[in-house]
Structure 1
Amino acid sequence: MITTTDLTKVYRSRGREITALDGVDLHVREGEVYGVVGQSGAGKSTLIRCVNLLERPTSGTVTVAGQDLTALAGRGTRAGSALRKARTGIGMVFQHFNLLSSRTVRDNVELPLEILGVSGKQRTRKAQELLDLVGLADKAKAYPAQLSGGQKQRVGIARALAGDPKVLLSDEATSALDPETTRSILQLLRDLNRQLGLTVLLITHEMDVVKSICDSAALMRDGRIVESGAVAELLATPGSELARELFPVGGELPGTDRTVVDVTFHGEAATKPVISQLARTYNIDISILGAAMDTVGGRQVGRMRIELPGPFEENVVPIGFLREQGLQIEVASGAEAALRAANDGNPIKPANPIKPTEPTELTKEGAK
C-alpha cells in the first residue's frame, strides 16, 4: 500500500546540508498497522511528511495505493490538482491536534469536506457519522477549548477520516497524552484499522505503542532504517535490536566463568515451565537476571536473561535443550561468537558435556 524507494531528503541552510533521510526503503502492506520508531532526530517526522509529500523528497519515489506521488508532484512548490486529488486518499493525524479554536467540533471535522466542495447537508451528515465513530457524537457543538487532550485527538482522527482515506498517517499522535488516554487512542486506531480496512502508518518514540497495536515495525537511526519486519518475526530473531528495545532485560555481563543467555519465548512456549525443567534435567543452578513479558498481537511474548554456571563450552547442551523447546536463544556475553570464530565457523563441541541427572527423591517430591 505504501512504498518508498531510496528516499532522500536534504535540507540546505546557509551553505550547509543536513541529510534528514538517507536512502529509505519502506514497504507497508495493505491493511496493516506499521510503526516507525526511533529517537528524536532520527528522521521519522520527515519520513511521514514525505509520504504525503507535505515535504518534497530530494530524490527517490513514494508510491501510495499504486500511485507514484513523486511523479504527480511536478517541479513547483504548490501541489497540483493531481497531487491534491491523490492526497484525499491519505488522512493525517498530528501530534498537537491542529484544531481551529474558533470552530465547533463538527465544523472542524467538516473543514476538509468544505475544501473538497461537498454540500452543506452532506458535510453535516458525514461529520456527525464520523464523530459517532470516534465516540464524540455528543460533542458536536462544543469548541476545542472545552475538550480534553484525548477528545481533541479524537476530533483530529475524525477530521482525518473525512475524505474516506485508504491510508491513515499518525505523527506522534499520542506523545502529548497521558498513559490511559494513550491506550484509548491506540485502541481506537486499531478498531478503525479493522472496521474500515485502513492501512495505518504511525511514527513514535514509544516502544509501548509498537507493542500495543503494530503488526510490523521499523527502527530508524540517523535518517536510515536499520531494521524492519513483522513484529512477531523480529521478536523471534536472535540479535534483533528492536526485540531488545521492545523487551529490555537487565543484568550485568559476567566474566568468562559464567554464561549469560537471552531467551525469547512466545506462543505455547510462554506458558511452559522451561527454565525449571532445565534446572531439574541438568541439575544446575540458574540465576534469572531480568525478565519482561507482555501481549503482542494477542499473543503472550517475553524475554528473559538467565545466567548459567561455567563458561559457554560447558553449557552447549543446556542451551541446545532450550532451543529444542522452540525458544530463541542469544548468548549475551558474546562467548559463542568468539568460540565459533576460533573454531573456523565449525559447530562447537563441549569439552565436558553435561549429562541429565536422575531425579532425586527431593526433586520427585518437588514435582509432586
Structure 2
Amino acid sequence: MITTTGLTKVYRAHRARGHEITALDGVDLHVREGEVYGVIGQSGAGKSSLIRCVNLLERPTAGTVTVAGQDLTALAGRGPRAGRELRKARSNIGMIFQHFNLLSSRTVQDNVELPLEILGKSGKERSRKALELLDLVGLTDKAKAYPAQLSGGQKQRVGIARALAGDPKVLLSDEATSALDPETTRSILHLLRDLNRQLGLTVLLITHEMDVVKTVCDSAALMENGRIVESGTVTELLATPGSELAAALFPVSGDASADDRTVVDVTFQGDAATQPVISQLARTYNIDISILGAAMDTVAGKQVGRMRIELPGRYEENVVPIGFLRERGLQLDLVEAAADTAAADTAAADKAAQASVPAKEGAK
C-alpha cells in the first residue's frame, strides 16, 4: 500500500551556503495493505520528514513514493504547489497531526466538514458525513462545541474524524499521541486499531514511544540518522537475536553472578508464554536457574514475554539445556556467553595461525 524506494531529503540552509542537512538517506519502506506500521526513533532520526514525504507535503530530493499503486513523485510536477493529479491522489491519504491543527473559530462539526468543503461537497452531504464520523469516534454530543471546550483527547478524535472525511485508504499519524496523557493515549491507539479493522485502513504511525508500537502495531521500523536500520513484523523482530527493537520493546537486564555462568535472553510468544518451560527445564536436568529479569505484555493481540535467565556453568556445559528450550519453539539470545565464546574463538584462531608459521618456514 505504501512503498518508498531510495527516499532522500536534503535540506539546504538559505543563509549558510554549502550547508546541508540530510534528513532522509535512501529510505526503503514497504507497508502492506491493511496493517498498522510504526516507525520509531529518537528526535532528529528523520521520522517526521519521512511521513511528510509520503504524502508529498515535503518534496523528496530523490527517490520515489508509491501509495495505493500511484507513484506520487511522478505526479508532483516542478512547481511548489501541488497539481490537480497530486491533489486527487492525496484524497486517498488522511493525516493526523501532533498538535491537532483545529480551527478555533469553527465548531467541531465544521472542522470535520472542512475537507469536504474543499472537495466541493454540498452542505447536506457535508453535514451527514461529519455527523457519521463524529459518531464513529465517539463525539456525537460535541458537534456544536468549539475546540477550546474540548480535552486534548477529544481534540485528537476530531482530528481523526477530519482525516477520515475523504474516505482515505491510508491514514498517516505524526506523533498523534505524544501530547496526551497515558490513559488518553491508550484510548486513541485503541480507536486507531478499531478504525484499522472496521474500515480496512492502512495506518502508518510515527512515534518515539515504544508503548505505541507494543499496543497497536503489526510491523515496525527503527530509524537512526535518516536511515531505517531495522524493520519487519513485530513477531519477526521478537524472534531475531540481537534485535534492537525487540530489546527496546521488552527491556530485561541483569548481570552474571560469576564468570562461570551462562546468561540467556529467552523470548516467549503465543502458547509458549503460558507454559512452565523454565520449571520443566530445571526439573528435567536438575539444575538451579536464576531469573535475572522478566517482562511480559500483549503485542499485536498476542501474549509475548522476555526473560533473562542464568544457567550454572559455561556455554559448552549448557548446550543440552539450551537445546531443550529451542526445541520448545523459544527464541534464545546469548548474553554473557556470546562474548566469551567469540573471545575464545578468536584466541583459538590466533593460536592456530601462530602454530602454522614455523611449518611454512620449515617447508622453505
Normalising by structure 1, we get a TM-score of: 0.91
Asked if the contact 1:3/1:63 (under 8 Å) is kept, the reply is: yes
Give the CA deviation at 1:173: 0.5
Which residue is 1:203 aligned to?
206
Which residue is 2:357 aligned to?
none
The AA in structure 2 aligned to 1:100 is L
Give the CA deviation at 1:325: 1.3
Residue 11 in structure 1 maps to residue 11 in structure 2:
yes
Match of 1:99 among 94, 102, 119: 102
Question: Structure 2: which 5+ residue stretches go unaligned?
Answer: 350-364
| Counterpart secondary structure, 2:24 | strand
Give the CA deviation at 1:340: 5.6
Match runs of 1:268-279 below 5 Å? 268-279=271-282
Asked if the contact 1:254/1:260 (under 8 Å) is kept, the reply is: no
Which residue is 1:113 aligned to?
116
User: For this pair of structures, how many residues does the alignment match?
Assistant: 344
Match of 1:123 among 108, 123, 126: 126
1:87-126 C-alpha deviation (Å, 9 max, x unpaired): 1110000001000001000000011111111111111111
Match runs of 1:1-368 below 5 Å? 1-13=1-13, 14-15=16-17, 16-253=19-256, 256-333=259-336, 334=338, 335-339=340-344
**Aligned alpha-carbon RMSD (Å):** 1.3
1:173-217 C-alpha deviation (Å, 9 max, x unpaired): 011111111111001000100111100000111111111111110
Q: Distance in 1 between matches of 2:35 and 2:256?
A: 38
| Counterpart secondary structure, 2:304 | strand
Question: Structure 1: which 5+ residue stretches go unaligned?
Answer: 345-368
Residues 274-283 or 301-310, more deviating: 274-283
Q: Distance in 1 between matches of 2:170 and 2:198?
A: 13
Give the CA deviation at 1:341: 5.8
Asked if the contact 1:239/1:330 (under 8 Å) is kept, the reply is: yes
Q: Distance in 1 between matches of 2:345 and 2:211?
A: 36
Q: Distance in 2 between matches of 1:278 and 1:340?
A: 28
| Change beyond 3 A, Cα 1:129–1:175 | same
Give the CA deviation at 1:284: 1.6
Which residue is 1:359 aligned to?
none
Give the CA deviation at 1:312: 1.3
Asked if the contact 1:253/1:332 (under 8 Å) is kept, the reply is: no
1:17-60 C-alpha deviation (Å, 9 max, x unpaired): 11100000000000000000111111000000000000110000
Q: Distance in 2 between matches of 1:338 and 1:292?
A: 30
Q: Distance in 2 between matches of 1:106 and 1:341?
A: 68
Q: Distance in 2 between matches of 1:337 and 1:194?
A: 46
| Change beyond 3 A, Cα 1:2–1:318 | same
Residues 27-36 or 276-285, more deviating: 276-285
Q: Distance in 2 between matches of 1:297 and 1:340?
A: 39
Q: Distance in 2 between matches of 1:305 and 1:342?
A: 28
Which residue is 1:361 aligned to?
none
1:282-313 C-alpha deviation (Å, 9 max, x unpaired): 22211111100001122110000011122211
Q: Distance in 2 between matches of 1:195 and 1:322?
A: 39
Q: Distance in 2 between matches of 1:343 and 1:331?
A: 20
1:66-105 C-alpha deviation (Å, 9 max, x unpaired): 0000000011111111111111110000001000001000
| Counterpart secondary structure, 2:262 | strand
Q: Distance in 2 between matches of 1:196 and 1:326?
A: 35
Give the CA deviation at 1:252: 2.4
1:221-273 C-alpha deviation (Å, 9 max, x unpaired): 11000010111111111111111010000112566311110000111111111
| Counterpart secondary structure, 2:220 | strand
